[in-house]
A and B are shown apart, each in its own frame.
Chain A
Amino acid sequence: MPIEINLDRILEERSMKSYELAEKIGITTANLSILKTGKAKAIRFSTLEAICETLDCQPGDILEYK
């Protein structure tokens, strides 16, 4: 898919673990893994909003079109 997920990089910058993020935004680690590996077919606005709020970033920082 031409859209890449830069969640790993941002998590590393924030020194946060995947399970911590999953816990804070209220999704399962399995679903977060789907998102991180680029297997996800869609992302809900509510999830994106929660990620941006928790990681204090913009949607564009997480999603990148290549």
Chain B
Amino acid sequence: MGSKSSVFDMIGPVMIGPSSSHTAGVVRIARAAIRVLGGSPENAVITFYNSFARTYEGHGSDKAILGGLMDFKTDDPHIREAFDIIKERGIQYTFKSIGNASVYHPNTIKLVLTKGAKTIEVIGESLGGGLINIAEVDGFNANFTAQSHTLIIKAQDVAGAIAFISNIIAQEQTNIATMSVSRKGKNDLACHVIEMDSGIRATTIDYLKTIPWIKDLIYIPDIDL
């Protein structure tokens, strides 16, 4: 067990039913994913795995994921009409369900989202109580909760990269809660995922983007805000 719960975990969250893992958590996975993409997608391929593969329709997780792709919050009553609204907005989507991906968490969703020339792949897990873990972004291990402010930086595997990035964040007077770095191979691209207790300024984000060895940077503020 981590730290103790809040009063508003006991009296809350305010959410669209029926189940925190099948609706609230699913909405939040989609809201995190569209922030990785940088907006609502034009096309979405949604795969429900394992337990979710059989149960997503009965629990309305299909409406929840589409609502989340349109950035509806977990307590937005429009989630119920997500099929109609997404049709109006012209967003294309396909559902798939795969029952035997045993390496994945029982309640896993993969989203492949396209907007313009950009396509991203996000794998999210709904952990219960509306809590989520974004397990992968574009094939890199990510493992963030989207409950705090998250920075995802894809960078060349240069010496001193971690020290440089954490130094910049320190100048923002913000505290790093978790930091993980993974790479696909030696001297290949590394993916830095940093969760921070508070946000950082847009100017700092812009500065980081100018660093030659930083190839891609995604900033995801607390998705519930």
A and B, one complex?
no
Q: Which residues of B contact A (CB under 8 A)?
A: none
